[in-house]
């Protein structure tokens, strides 16, 4: 089939498609004009005054010690990281002055001379650089925290 015949066939197909499109647009406009009117939306209730949020007390651990927590000291806030490294992807953001509960700490990438990173408590379990956190309470190393959780004679450890 010569090239001109192919182009003519394609032109006819495009013209047929354009005609269908024109029909659809015209039908849509007709349906839009014939659409029934809708009732007015319900009025929104006026907001009630809520009491000011109070400072939440630090929860107690089973042993009677307070959870360690920290306050963000970075002027522009800081990123939460998937792993204790600035190369790791950011999973969240903490504002200056934000209060976070600290699970444990590890030694990893040094940030301006500070090589400690904190694992923070929450559903994401992310890491923050200790350089920009003022911690309150004793933060244990992660190797010590995890050692206390699983003892060598636990059943699940030796399950076969």
CATH number for the domain that contains residue 132: 2.30.30.40
> Is 23 a domain residue?
no
Residue range 32-88, pLDDT digits in tens = 555 555 555 666 666 565 555 444 444 444 444 457 999 999 999 999 999 999 999
> Is 81 a domain residue?
yes
| Cβ count within 10 A of residue 126 | 23
> Is 24 a domain residue?
no
List beta partners, residue 101. Answer: 69
What is the phi/psi pair of residue 43, to 5°?
Answer: -65, 145
Q: How many domains does the chain have?
A: 1
Please give the structure tokens belonging to residue 152: 């060598």
Residue with structure tokens 């090589």?
Answer: 115
> Is 142 a domain residue?
yes
Q: 0.85 cut: is pTM over it?
A: no
Query: The domain containing residue 139 runs over which residues?
Result: 69-149
Select from 43, 115, 59, 117 the least CA-distant residue to 83: 117
């Amino acid at each position: 089939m010569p090239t001109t015949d192919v182009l003519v066939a394609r032109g006819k197909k495009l013209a047929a498609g354009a005609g269908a499109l024109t029909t659809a647009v015209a039908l849509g406009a007709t349906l839009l004009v014939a659409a029934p009117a809708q009732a007015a939306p319900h009025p929104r209730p006026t907001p009630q005054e809520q009491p000011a949020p109070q400072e939440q007390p630090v929860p107690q651990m089973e042993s009677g010690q307070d959870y360690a927590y920290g306050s963000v000291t970075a002027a522009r806030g800081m990123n939460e990281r998937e792993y204790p490294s600035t190369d790791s992807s950011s999973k969240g953001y903490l504002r200056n002055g934000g209060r976070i509960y600290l699970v444990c700490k590890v030694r990893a990438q040094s940030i301006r001379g500070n090589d400690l990173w904190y694992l923070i408590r929450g559903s994401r379990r992310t890491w923050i650089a200790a350089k920009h956190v003022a911690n309150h309470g004793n933060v244990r190393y992660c190797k010590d925290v995890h050692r206390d959780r699983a003892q060598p004679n636990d059943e699940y450890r030796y399950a076969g």
